[in-house]
Amino acid sequence: MKVPIKPIKKVLIANRGEIALRVIRACHVVGIPTVAVFSEADRSALHVRMADEAVLIGPPSPRESYLVHDRILEAAKISGADAIHPGYGFLSENAAFASRCRDAGIVFIGPPPEAIRAMGDKIQSRLRMKAASVPVVPGEDAVNEDTLEEAATRVGFPLMLKASAGGGGKGIRIVRSMSEIKEAFERARAEAEKAFGDGTVFLERLVEGPHHVEVQVFGDHHGTIVHLFERECSVQRRHQKVVEETPSPFVTPELRKRMCDAAVAAARAVGYVNAGTVEFLVDSNRDFYFLEMNTRLQVEHAITELVTGIDLVAEQLRVAAGHPLSFKQADVRQSGHAIEVRVCAEDPESGYLPSTGKIQELLLPGGPHVRLDSALYPGLEVTPFYDSMLAKLCVHSASRSEAIAVMRQSLAELRIGGLRTNIAFLARILRDPEFGSGVYDTGLLQRMSPPKDDPETDRLATIVAAVLRHADAETSRPSLKQNAGHGIDAWRSAFRHGAMR
């Protein structure tokens, strides 16, 4: 069926923070007006200020604002938005919401609800992948108290109990013996029921020391599905990604081709349209297995943009309007190496407890091929209501070793004052010999060596601190005259006092 091309006139972004800004910028570049939605906690948020219009949708809690279908759809109606971009998280993989958008005549900038449903249920997605000849981890589909032990015997230990619905590491338990399985099953089922409203659990053989590698795919309404190569996502804490890079230093050209072909086959099996990601586990023998599909734009999409030169959000807008993809598979090339780190408001030294407060000082890194996606500004109040990620810092260089060096420099320059962050922890990861080797798996953070002094990073941090102290002291003087050379004077002062020697 031929899909008519229908220009999008106004986009409502059903999200907040840096991803809302990312979408707003992409829309403005192509001349599409935007509508921001915001909770009472986000009245002063940057995405509210940058959008052409903004609509209040409720109290701070996401369950009373960003996750309420009716309030998002009402905001679209009163603002005249004819399309909704869900970003990631919140309603981005909610098939019911995508269906309601379609029923209301609103373009959902993402896959069709049928594809979201097909890949949202992990048991059903496993069956579809088997039918499409995509490798899956050996396992047993939905189990209950009566079938649990028999199914575990067939799968063999060690194994994983996994929730069929949802994601984000919830409803997952590793089991190494039969004596553990009943308690683990009850915990996984209860956690899944609480998080997703569905306590269905299945079993998979545990892939020991796996690499987590994902493939970016993109489909249009005209039957074209392409891949944009892979991303290495093995630096994880509790199944949550911390550092991503592309190309994967572990993936060989032959493995890359097989995985990318399998990802395209997976997307084709569910009639996929728009941006999505097929995730795989890869064992030490470089055998790979389908893990899941994220039916949305990924947090880490920026590093794919850096190595391919393709604006994924602009392409989402194009495809949602009915246009064919602006590129073919043969046009997609990997150039150089890109790394992303997720800067979060949390304290790694205190069990990763979330940190809240007002950003009192902010110094951002710069230089060629440095990209910071954030919604930060001095005075911003970081609240406890939302995800702790503050920013995504990305770098791109000719080689992996150069990209690591640029990222280390950028982390040393980045300063967010007023609350605790994981910046120092990220710098440790970039210094770790195992990470540097490129041959690391999802257990890296558990094995990572304890903190130790790094003279270069300490020197750069000292420079930054000296500049900020000097600037604070100067701006507090009543007789201070603002002039264009003030910042340079601060650096000169720091040098004179030895911080830059």
Residues annotated as catalytic (active site), given as ranges: 296
CA 437, distance to chain mean position in Å, is 24
Which among 358, 436, 425, 359 is positioned nearest to 401, based on CA atoms?
436
CA 419, CA 409: separation in Å to the nearest integer?
21
Q: At what angle do helices 95-103 and 113-120 cross, to 10 degrees?
A: 170
First vs last C-alpha separation in the chain:
68
Residue 304, strand partner residues: none
Q: What share of the chain is helix, strand, coil (3-state, %, to 5)?
A: 40, 25, 35
| CA dihedral sign, ordered 301, 19, 101, 292 | positive
Neighbours of 377 (CB within 10 A): 12
Tokens standing for 33?
Answer: 């007006």
In a 13 Å sphere around the CA of 210, the CA atoms on its Cβ side amount to 20
Tokens standing for 301?
Answer: 């999409």
Neighbours of 224 (CB within 10 A): 15
Q: What is the DSSP string of 212-229?
A: EEEEEEEE-TTS-EEEEE
Scan for tokens 């994880």, then name that residue: 236
3-state SS, residue 312? helix
CA 213, CA 233: separation in Å to the nearest integer?
6
Tokens standing for 126?
Answer: 């496993």
- Phi first, then psi: what are they for 44, rounded to 5°? -100, 15
Q: What residue type is 208 in one-letter code?
A: E
Phi/psi zone of residue 321: left (φ > 0), alpha (ψ -120 to 50 degrees), beta?
A: alpha
Q: What is the DSSP string of 383-426?
A: -TTS-SEEEEEEEEESSHHHHHHHHHHHHHH-EEETS--SHHHH
Neighbours of 63 (CB within 10 A): 9
**Long-range contact pairs involving 460-467 (C-beta distance under 8 Å, separation at least 24):** 460/409, 460/412, 460/413, 461/412, 462/499, 463/494, 463/499, 463/500, 464/363, 464/412, 464/413, 464/415, 465/415, 465/499, 466/493, 466/494, 466/497, 466/499, 466/500, 467/363, 467/491, 467/494
